[in-house]
A and B are shown apart, each in its own frame.
Chain A
């Protein structure tokens, strides 16, 4: 059965705002929340710096200092880092080979498609047996 990521509408809209402001570069960040069985509930979303200076339009490297700060906040509030989000400017919200090569198990990977016309699809993926499986997003 497909896993579910619960992402409240206002949090999804916040991701869309980050995506539009960063366009045409990729934006990225961290999802804080909790697990409920196989599903994950997002409680807050955080933007991180994209440290990839050479190819910021089609690659991201999430600032580990920002990751650490988000992890600290999660621990203080009894939450976990349950996932990572990033944008695909002018590209579908499907994981690329680059996404797959760098992915870790146990996290939801939310991808936001964005173009000059605005935010497109928002889809979530999770690594399962070394390949990405899509998760349902519910608000």
Chain B
């Protein structure tokens, strides 16, 4: 088990009692996110689909790399890694 840091964006901090980052354990990004879901009610549903993949409006980064460009949710993590939940930000006049 590796202990990693998960950075929580402002819109999701209501689920982490205001914390901007939390610790989680696991061997992969998916493990860490599951651990996060167990610790914080309601958070996982905002981040992952029922299949456990990042939702359309969410990106998950390991360090500076989007996990979609790595091995997805199966990407292994190392002790001390940082996972960032990055909200997809979009819109426009029409």
A89 to B92, CA, bound (A): 9
Distance of A131 from chain B, by nearest CB (Å): 15
Distance of B40 from chain A, by nearest CB (Å): 16
Distance of B13 from chain A, by nearest CB (Å): 7
Chain A 12-48 against B: per-residue CB contact (8 Å), 1 yes, 0 no? 0000000000000010100000000000000000000
- The prevalent SS among residues of B at the interface is mixed
Are B9 and A96 in contact (CB-based, < 8 A)?
no
Are A96 and B94 in contact (CB-based, < 8 A)?
yes
- Residue among A52, A71, A82, A95 with most chain B CB within 10 A: A71
Task: Tell me if B87 counts as interface (CB < 8 A to partner A).
Answer: yes
Q: Chain A residues in contact with chain B, CB under 8 A?
A: 26, 28, 52, 55, 58-62, 64-65, 67-68, 71, 75, 80-82, 84, 86, 88-91, 95-96, 98-99, 101-107, 109
Of all chain B residues, the one with the shortest Cβ separation from A26 is B92
Q: Which B residues lie within 8 Å of A75 (CB)?
A: 7, 20
Distance of A138 from chain B, by nearest CB (Å): 21
Of all chain B residues, the one with the shortest Cβ separation from A100 is B91
Task: Tell me if B10 counts as interface (CB < 8 A to partner A).
Answer: yes
Of all chain B residues, the one with the shortest Cβ separation from A62 is B89
**In the complex with contacts A67-B86, A68-B86, A107-B92 CB distance below 8 A:** no
Chain B 58-94 against A: per-residue CB contact (8 Å), 1 yes, 0 no? 0101001010000000000000000010111111111
Are B84 and A71 in contact (CB-based, < 8 A)?
yes
Are A98 and B10 in contact (CB-based, < 8 A)?
no
Are A107 and B11 in contact (CB-based, < 8 A)?
yes
**In the complex with contacts A82-B10, A106-B13, A106-B14, A64-B88 CB distance below 8 A:** yes
21 contacting pairs across A/B (C-beta < 8 A): A52-B92, A58-B94, A60-B92, A62-B89, A62-B90, A64-B59, A64-B61, A68-B86, A71-B84, A84-B89, A89-B93, A90-B93, A91-B94, A95-B91, A96-B92, A96-B93, A98-B90, A98-B93, A105-B14, A106-B13, A109-B91
